Amino acid sequence: MNTKNYVLDAIEYLEKHLLEGVSLEQLAKQFNFSKFHYARLFKAVLGENIGDYQMKRRLTIAAMSLLETRDSILNIAIMCGYSSQESFTRMFKAYFGITPKDYRDNKIEYLNLYKYSITQEDIERVMSYGTATEYEIIHKNSFEITGLLYHGDNKKHDVARIFNQTAQKVQLDKIYNQIDGVYGLDFCKNEEVRGYEFDFIAGIDSRYFSQIDRKDAQLVHKYIPENDYAVYSLTNIIEKIQIQIQRNWFSLLNDELYVPCDNYAYEFYPNGFVPNQKNIDAYLFIPITAR
């Protein structure tokens, strides 16, 4: 099954079970796919995480029902999966900026806030970003990354800051010529992915920490297993890296030979890399398995 059909089937499954709710874990089991890569796929296609998509779709159905039916607000709340009218009212007002009662009384549709089901055309438009890009297959032994952990949604460019904080923490200026480079590890902590939030470690290979206190409470250590990787070259123009990562990742999803696996991927910025200067490329490593 190609990625487009895979996503269409998943959306159909989501819509079929919309009012009862579907977890990321349920979807991953239903379609036999890594939760980490599944979450990334849906954030890219839906523009948001699976939970937010379902919440907005249910509230849209509720808004339509308020204007198109005479069902009580409580019955609409229960139909849309809420345990009480109070919890439904809180969520409805938080999203639409108005209570369900006032929305019904005003009889004005907030169409600009309605969330409609994703269509095949929507998916094809997003998937068009995934044009084939070249990669190299590399086998890497296990290793460990040590650095600072970030958990959040990166709305304030926090990932860039965590790289800078890591550089200060590990005294990168003093050991720079002794290490191979800097890593940016994107992974699922405890196998959970919520909203736009993610876990990210900016760090270096732990073997270079002989001169540094590994007992520092702020430093975290993450084991990376032995694996085969699809390795992509990345631009050194920082603001374009995330776009390129998404394009490479979509391309791999459509690959005939390999599919992403496990619950992580990482960027590698080799020694000598200077952001926004045409000197040395960065690299994206995505763990893979044969289809």
Tokens in use for 235? 């631009």
Domain boundary assignment for the chain: 1-128, 136-290
Closest of 117, 112, 113 to residue 91, by C-alpha: 113
- 1-128 and 136-290 share one fold: no
State how far the Cα of 182 lies from the Cα of 227, in Å rounded to an integer: 19
Contact call for residues 284 and 265 (beta carbons, < 8 A): yes
In this structure, how many other beta carbons lie within 10 angstroms of the beta carbon of residue 68?
9
**What pTM value is reported for the model?**
0.67
CATH number among 1.10.10.60, 3.40.980.10, 3.30.465.10, 3.40.50.300, domain 1-128: 1.10.10.60
Going residue by residue through the chain, which has 291 residues, state the pLDDT in tens, using 9 for 90 and above. 566 677 788 888 888 998 888 888 888 788 777 777 777 777 777 767 788 889 999 999 999 999 999 999 999 999 999 999 999 999 999 999 899 999 999 888 887 788 888 877 777 766 665 556 789 999 999 999 999 999 887 766 688 888 888 888 888 878 888 899 999 999 876 544 444 578 899 999 998 876 556 677 789 999 999 999 999 999 887 777 877 887 788 788 778 888 888 889 999 999 888 877 777 889 999 999 998
Q: Give me the CATH topology for the region 136-290.
A: Multidrug-efflux Transporter 1 Regulator Bmrr; Chain A (3.20.80)
